[in-house]
């Protein structure tokens, strides 16, 4: 069982690499955005089907058009994959839109915003503390001189 899973991992990596190359070099469909990347590939154990998780940077219409372009080019992509990959069966490809990269960018922006807010608040607190310390020192100096 373990050999089979290692074999599938290697096949997934190889198919992902080849699909990335095909997407970058061979797809001429204008609907497919140049900001398209393959996030993950899941090939079934019998090598008949393959789910390709695709991330597209852009708005919803760009994403929809890219998926439509990839689906219409699936036959060509599959034949190119057959030429590049040495597999007994070339799997049927199904393209699935993946939002994980967008989600990561959004979370990163939120974290940066929180960190900036904390830094701004810390600077304000330091300024207030320094002002209070200066007032206390002035009062102490005044008491000493009196």
What tens digit of pLDDT does each residue of 68-80 get? Answer: 999 999 999 999 9
* Predicted structure pTM score: 0.70
pLDDT at 1: 39
pLDDT, mean of residues 125-133? 63
Instruction: Tell me how far CA of residue 58 lies from CA of 34, 62, 65, 94, in angstroms.
Output: 10, 6, 11, 21
Half-sphere exposure at residue 72, Cβ-oriented, CA atoms within 13 angstroms = 12
pLDDT at 121: 81
Does the pLDDT at position 59 exceed 90?
no
Closest CA to 18 of 66, 96, 87: 87
pLDDT at 101: 78
Q: What is the percent of the chain with per-residue pLDDT over 90, rounded to a whole number?
A: 51
Per the CB < 8 A criterion, the answer to whether 78 and 49 are in contact is no
Tell how strand 36-43 and strand 49-56 pair up.
Answer: antiparallel
Judged by phi (left if over 0) then psi (alpha if -120 to 50, else beta), residue 47 lies in left
pLDDT at 93: 94
């Amino acid at each position: 069982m373990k050999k089979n899973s290692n074999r599938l991992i290697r096949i997934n990596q190889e198919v992902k690499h080849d699909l990335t190359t095909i997407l970058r070099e061979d797809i001429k469909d204008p609907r497919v955005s140049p900001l398209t990347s393959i996030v993950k590939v899941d090939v079934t154990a019998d090598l008949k089907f393959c789910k390709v998780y695709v991330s597209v940077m852009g708005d919803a219409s760009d994403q929809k058009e890219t998926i439509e372009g990839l689906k219409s080019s699936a036959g060509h992509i599959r034949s190119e994959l057959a030429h590049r990959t040495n597999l007994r069966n070339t799997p049927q490809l199904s393209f699935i839109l993946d939002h994980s990269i967008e989600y990561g960018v959004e979370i990163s922006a939120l974290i940066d915003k929180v960190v900036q807010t904390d830094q701004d608040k810390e600077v304000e607190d330091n300024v207030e503390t320094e002002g209070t310390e200066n007032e206390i020192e002035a009062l102490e100096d005044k008491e000493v001189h009196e």
